[in-house]
Every structure is written in structure tokens, then in C-alpha cells.
Amino acid sequence: MTDGILIVSEGDCERLIDRTRAFSAVEAVFGAMARGDAYNFPVIREAIGYADALYGFKSGFDKAGLALGLKSGGYWPGNADKGLTNHQSTVFLFDPDTGQLQALVGGNYLTAIRTAASSAVSIAHLARQDARVLGMIGAGHQAQFQLRAAAEQRSFEKVVAWNPHPEMLPKLAAVSDSIGLPFESVSAEDVGRQADVIITITSAFEPLLLNDWIRPGTHLACMGTDTKGKQEIDAAIAARAVVFTDEVAQSISIGEMQHPVADGSLSEADITPIGAVINATHPGRTDAGQITLFDGTGVGLQDLAVAAVAARSAAESGNPTRVSLA
Ligand code: NAD
């Protein structure tokens, strides 16, 4: 890309990146990570002592996809009162040949769609082909994206859902309705007992799903835990499961696997990067009775992957917005 810095707005991203493109970009970068062609740099995340905000950077380099850069952003709890999204992010892409800033890309929609793509990739590669009931634990902003992306991976016949704040469920039910999937609001226990695939996407700090509720053959995509101390599922589930993740280092430090690793019921060596399954160097699910668990912690390379696709598409569109620092 030449001729100045490309500006790709949130609206541009929504027009340029759909679920299919996000899925392909995230699947490819997970594969590149497992081959050693792409790596994430250490994450910075700080409470800044102002506006109760958490702020930081996720960054990395994908030598295969030639994406270099970072996502800057965080969480401003007071934003909702100002009519703004609490989570705010922007992706910066740099030219890997020169280090010059290539593009500034709105990161809010991209975060939602790349996180949904992550659990969708896990379902595509690990869930039983005959999965028919999709379970949702969580009903916030991100849950709506997760549901749409998951629904495309198997021939689901219904959605069963539970959320700690039941008043949030009607919005998720409307999404399910809009894609023609019957939706039932049930207890957390019944999500565990009925669903073939379960996505957890909450801000919980204690287990919402207990071990006894999970049936053999279930696939779980645990997506909400992205910080030390958060937890969505009983750690004992991991000890029964074949465990996959986007990145092992994050899984055991800030992901859901921090808990079974801390209590000694799981070791780092028991966790496989999902990229190995994508690259066919690990068989993934080998038995219909296995519980498979994907710990989706959210890595910077996912953001760069979808932002790079958005930037390329914007550059190829008739009239991209550019500014110059010169
Ligand atoms: P949101 O604020 O829109 O929704 C929050 C969800 O968590 C709701 O279901 C709410 O009922 C539930 N919740 C809130 N407080 C809770 C508590 N104390 N205990 C249990 N549940 C609680 O948020 P969102 O954008 O939907 O994000 C949901 C979670 O996903 C957050 O933890 C966020 O950090 C995480 N996230 C992860 C990734 C990733 O890549 N893994 C990406 C984006 C967001």
C-alpha cells in the first residue's frame, strides 16, 4: 500500500468483512501460529488510574500473511452513559518491509467478528458433525456475534441459553429468531445437559457451568475469560476434556485454563494449539464421546488478520480514505 495512511472506519469494516472472510482470516492465522510463522508479542494491559479505564496493546507479526501491528484499546466503564461502547479499540498496521504506518482501522466491530470467528473455527474443527443443539451461556454484545457465527458451522435445530442477567436474553432470542433457529431460555444446568456445543461468553469470575452437567461428546468454546481471575466453567471439566486453545501461553495465564493448571488437574503439555488441528498435525476429536474444549483467549494476531483483510479490501475499493504524515 502506498500514497499515505489508509483510514478504515468502523462502517467500512462492517461493509468489507463478513463472517466468512473473518473465519478464513482467523483460521489461517491460527494455522500460521502453530507452524511458527506468526507470533504474538507480550500483551500490555494496565489500569490507568483515570476514568476507571483499562488500557493496553495486543500486537504481533504474521510472516505468512504479512501483517505487522497492534490493537490499542481497552475498557471504559463510563462510556455507556455517554452513548459509547465500553470496549474501544483501534488497529494500527505497519508495512513489514519498511516499518511505515500503513493503515488505521476501527477495531470495535473487528473485535466482535474475530472473536466469533474464533469459536466458529473451533466448532468447525472439533464439534461432532451431528451436533444439533447449540448452548449459549452469556447474552451480551459479543454473544450475538458468537451465535450467528456458530449457527453456520453445523445443522443446529435449536438454541438453549442461560444468562446471569435474564433481562438480556430477549436480544439474543431475537438474533436466533432472525436466523430461523428456535430459542429456549433454560437453566444453566439444562444448557449443560442438552447442548452438543456450548459457547460461554460472560464476564464471570466464578464457574457458571458445573462438571456433572456436561455430557460426553460435548464441544465447549470458552470465550469470556481473557483476564486473570475470570472463570466461566468448573475447572474439573478441563480434566475430562481434550483441550485446545488459540495460544497456550495466554490460555494458562489469562484464559480459562489458568484454573485447572493452578489446581494441578491439567498441565501446559495437555493443551494443544488449535492451529495444529487446522494444519492436520493433530487429529482433533477422535471419538464421538470425547468432550472437546476450546479456550479462546483472544490474540492480537486475530485482530491484525481481520484488519489486514479490511485494509486490503478498502485499498482495492474505488475511493479509499488516505492521510499523509509527510
Ligand atoms: P457485555 O458487557 O456486553 O456482556 C457481559 C456478559 O457477561 C453478559 O452475558 C452478562 O450477563 C455477563 N456478566 C456481567 N457481569 C457478570 C458477572 N459478575 N458474573 C457473571 N456474568 C456476568 O460484554 P461482551 O462484550 O459480550 O463480552 C463478554 C466477555 O467476553 C467479557 O468478559 C469480555 O472481556 C470477553 N471477550 C473475550 C474476547 C476473546 O477474544 N476471548 C473478545 C471480546 C470479549
Query: What are the tens digits of pLDDT across the range 291-307?
Result: 999 999 999 999 999 99
Catalytic annotation present for 71: yes
**What is the chain's mean pLDDT, rounded?**
96
Which is more confidently placed, 290 or 86? 290
- What the block records as the C-alpha cell of 316 is 482495492
Q: Which atom of ligand 1 is nearest to the CA of 139?
A: 9
Around ligand 1, the residues with Cβ closer than 6 Å are 87, 111, 115, 138-143, 163-165, 168, 201-205, 223-224, 226, 296-298
* Helices and strands counted in the chain (H then E): 11, 18
- Beta-sheet pairing, 292-295 with 133-137: unpaired
Instruction: Report the separation in Å between the CA atom of 20 and the middle of ligand 1, taken as the mean of its atom positions.
Output: 24
| β-sheet bridge partners, residue 58 | 71
Tell me the pLDDT tens digit for each residue of 217-234: 999 999 999 989 999 999
Q: Which of 141, 150, 117 is nearest to 309 (CA)?
A: 117
Counting from 1 in the atom list of ligand 1, the atom nearest the Cα of 114 is 40
Angle at 64 between CA 60 and CA 69, to 5 degrees: 25
Distance 141 CA to ligand 1 centre (A): 8
Using CA positions, which residue lies closest to atom 33 of ligand 1? 224
Q: How far is the CA of 204 from the centre of ligand 1 (A)?
A: 7
Q: Report pLDDT for 1.
A: 46
Can you tell me the distance from the alpha carbon of 22 to that of 90, in angstroms, rounded to the nearest whole number?
A: 17
pLDDT of residue 2: 56
pLDDT of 317? 87
Give phi and psi for 257, each to the nearest 5.
-75, -5
Find residue 323's DSSP bridge partners: 5
230 Cα nearest atom in ligand 1 = 32
Annotated catalytic residue, options 58, 63, 71, 171? 71
Quote the CA–CA distance of 136 and 150 in Å, as a whole number.
10
State the distance from the centre of ligand 1 to the C-alpha of 239, rounded, in angstroms: 24
Q: What is the pLDDT of residues 34-77, one digit of tens each?
A: 999 999 999 998 999 999 999 999 999 999 999 999 999 999 99
Instruction: Assign 315 a pLDDT band (cuts: 50, 70, 90).
Output: very high
Q: What is the pLDDT of residue 32?
A: 98
Mutate to test the pocket of ligand 1, among 142, 191, 223, 251 (most ligand atoms within 8 A of CB): 142
- How many angstroms separate the CA atoms of 284 and 111, rounded? 26
pLDDT at 3: 78
Query: In angstroms, what is the span from residue 226 Cα to ligand 1's centroid?
Result: 10
Q: Which atom of ligand 1 is nearest to the CA of 138?
A: 9
pLDDT (tens digit, 9 = 90+) per residue, 129-187?
999 999 999 999 999 999 999 999 999 999 999 999 999 999 999 999 999 999 999 99
Between the CA atoms of 95, 9, 30 and 203, what dihedral angle is there, to the nearest 10 degrees? 130
Give tens-digit pLDDT for 262-273: 999 999 999 999
3-state helix, strand, coil in the chain (%, to 5): 40, 25, 35
Task: Quickly list DSSP for 144-174.
Answer: HHHHHHHHTTS---EEEEE-SSGGGHHHHHH
Q: Are strands 54-62 and 44-47 parallel, antiparallel or unpaired?
A: antiparallel
- Specify whether the CB–CB gap between 277 and 248 falls below 8 A: no
Cell numbers 479490501 correspond to 313
How large is the average pLDDT for residues 313-324? 90
Instruction: Please state the length of the chain.
Output: 326
Examine the pLDDT at 326 and tell me if it is beyond 90.
no
- What DSSP character marks residue 268? G
Q: Which mutation among 201, 223, 294, 295 tests ligand 1's pocket best, with the greatest number of atoms within 8 A of CB?
A: 201
Question: Which candidate, 221, 257, 27, 55, places its Cα nearest to that of 138?
Answer: 221
| Distances in whole angstroms, Cα of residue 16 to Cα of each of 9, 56, 96, 306 | 10, 26, 23, 10
